[in-house]
Amino acid sequence: MILFIDACVREASRTRRLALRLLDALGGDHEQVILEKCDFPAVDEAFLQKRDRLLWEGAFSDPMFGYARQFAKADTIVIAAPFWDLSFPAALKSYLEQINVVGITFRYTPDGVPQGMCRAKKLYYVTTAGGDFFPEEYGFGYVKALAQTFYGINDVELIKAVGLDIEGVPVEVILRECEEETDRRFRREQ
């Protein structure tokens, strides 16, 4: 099962458009988490106390850990997140805080090193940016570090279209080229 995490806000999101093309190319069923529709609790003292108590009790089936269980069970992850303010939308950070759960998505070795517990072998990070300034170590780099260091998902791939808001650029041409490249690289034999 593919898990599609949609951090896009705009109805006509260019990032979502590219992610949907990737999902189509990958084929198969997918579950979708639309982050703007999620009501994440604030990560405050009360949240942490409840979470710590549930973890200590081994109550991993508690609804609080639903997103983490879903993420850990997925075979493939697709994240669609536009490049905003040198990162990604805040809802994606909130989601990551919900899924980063010791005992579900990762555990610590006796040496204190995180060890991934997720089933997925591949994570695709799909993004678009208005300008050409796109340092990969920011938004994408953060997600890649979490995937590889905590979740055990070593194969992390970036799919991007940049420069979309520069005056005079052929936006549709850039998006179509990215879609065609996605089809060439990922379309499974139907």
Using 50, 70 and 90 to split pLDDT, how confident is the model at 137? confident
Question: Would you say 82 and 20 are in contact if contact means Cβ atoms under 8 Å apart?
Answer: no
pLDDT for 89-103, tens place per residue? 999 999 999 999 999
pLDDT of residue 134 exceeding 80: no
Give me the count of residues in the chain: 190
The neighbour count for residue 20, using CB atoms within 10 Å, is: 17
What is the tally of structural domains in the chain? Answer: 1
Per the structure, the complete domain to which residue 119 belongs is given by: 2-186
Question: Would you say 15 and 173 are in contact if contact means Cβ atoms under 8 Å apart?
Answer: no
**Rounded Cα–Cα distance for residues 171 and 20 (Å):** 18
pLDDT of residue 189 exceeding 70: no
Using 50, 70 and 90 to split pLDDT, how confident is the model at 86? confident
> Is pTM beyond 0.85 here?
yes
Supply the CATH number for residue 56's domain: 3.40.50.360
pLDDT for 145-182, tens place per residue? 999 999 999 999 999 999 998 999 999 999 999 999 99
Averaged pLDDT score across all residues of the chain:
94
**Rounded Cα–Cα distance for residues 188 and 190 (Å):** 6
Tokens of 1: 């099962």
Q: DSSP secondary-structure letter at 148?
A: I
